[in-house]
Amino acid sequence: MKLTLRVWRQQNADAPGTMATYPVDGISEDMSFLEMLDTLNEELTLKGEEPVAFDHDCREGICGACSLVINGDAHGPERTTTCQLHMRSFDDGDTIDVEPWRAAAFPVVKDLVVDRSAFDRIIQSGGYISAPTGAAPEAHSTPVPKPDADFAFEHAECIGCGACVAACPNGSAMLFTSAKINHLNVLPQGAPERETRVLDMVAQMDEEGFGGCTLTGECATACPKGIPLPSIAAMNKEWLRATRKVSR
C-alpha cells in the first residue's frame, strides 16, 4: 500500500503546531496502525529527521495509551484501540490525517502525545475501596448478586484511553468517570465510600476542566471497550442519592 500521512507535529506544549505531510510506501495491510507509524519513523530517522512522538505500551488493546484521532475519529474507523487497528481498514492511495486527542484537559506534550494525568487525579480522588489490614478474606465470603457482578465487570472494562473525551463535542469525561464510579459503587466492597466517591470524583472531573455532557452519545460510540451510555445516567442517580444523603 502507498499512503499519504498528514501528521500533527508540535515541538512542545507551548509551541505552535502544524500538519506535516509524509508519503509512505510498502505498507502491508496486515500491519497495525502503530507498526505503520514505526515504519514512518524508521524512514525519518534514516533521513536524519526527528521521528513522530506517539504514545503506546502494551499494543494489545489493554492499556489505552495509543490515543490518536485518525481521520477525525478517536482510534480510527473501527471500534477498537489504535494498536489493534490494522491497515486493511484503509485503501491503497488513501490520505490519512493523524492528530492527538483534542481536549482542553488533555494538553499536548509533543506531536501526538497528550497529558492524560487528569484521569489519574479523578481516580485518586475516589476510585478506591477501604482495605483492612490482615489476611485476605475468603473470596466467597461476600456474596454479590449476579446482576451486580455483571454490571461491575462491564464498567471495569474501561481502560482510561480517553477516546470518550476525544469523541465528545464538549470534551466531557462523564463516560470515563461514570465507569469508574459504577464499577465500585455497586459492589459491597465499595459501600463505605459510596457517597464520598461519587461526590469527590465528579467534583474533581469538573475541576480538571472537562466539558459538560449533553448526551450526544459519541462517547459510547467511540469507546473501544463498549462502556454503555446509560452508565452516565447511573452515575447521575448515584450523585443525586449522595447529595441528598450528605445534606441531611
55-95 pLDDT per residue, tens: 999 999 999 999 999 999 999 999 999 999 999 999 999 99
Within this chain, do residues 127 and 210 fall inside the same structural domain, yes or no?
yes
| CATH code for the domain in which residue 218 is found | 1.10.1060.10
d(Cα 39, Cα 37) in Å, to the nearest integer?
5
Closest-CA residue to 173 (of 201, 211, 200, 199): 211
Within this chain, do residues 121 and 35 fall inside the same structural domain, yes or no?
no
Within this chain, do residues 120 and 209 fall inside the same structural domain, yes or no?
yes
Which residue range(s) make up the domain with 160?
Answer: 116-247
For the stretch 30-45, pLDDT in tens is 999 999 999 999 999 9
Q: Beta strands 95-99 and 3-9: pairing type?
A: parallel
Last residue of a domain, one of 110, 131, 159: 110
d(Cα 30, Cα 20) in Å, to the nearest integer?
25
Within this chain, do residues 78 and 165 fall inside the same structural domain, yes or no?
no
Within this chain, do residues 152 and 41 fall inside the same structural domain, yes or no?
no
Within this chain, do residues 93 and 38 fall inside the same structural domain, yes or no?
yes
Within this chain, do residues 145 and 219 fall inside the same structural domain, yes or no?
yes
Last residue of a domain, one of 70, 94, 110: 110
**pLDDT for residue 48 is more than 70:** yes
The tally of domains found in the chain comes to 2
Consecutive H or E run containing 113 = strand 113-114
Please report the pLDDT score of residue 247 as a whole number: 66
Please report the pLDDT score of residue 246 as a whole number: 72
Within this chain, do residues 98 and 126 fall inside the same structural domain, yes or no?
no
d(Cα 143, Cα 153) in Å, to the nearest integer?
15
d(Cα 240, Cα 12) in Å, to the nearest integer?
41
Within this chain, do residues 15 and 77 fall inside the same structural domain, yes or no?
yes
Q: Which amino acid is at 30?
A: D
Within this chain, do residues 9 and 66 fall inside the same structural domain, yes or no?
yes
Last residue of a domain, one of 94, 110, 126: 110
Check if the beta carbon of residue 182 is closer than 8 Å to that of residue 238.
Answer: yes
| CATH code for the domain in which residue 92 is found | 3.10.20.30
pTM for this entry: 0.92
Within this chain, do residues 218 and 146 fall inside the same structural domain, yes or no?
yes
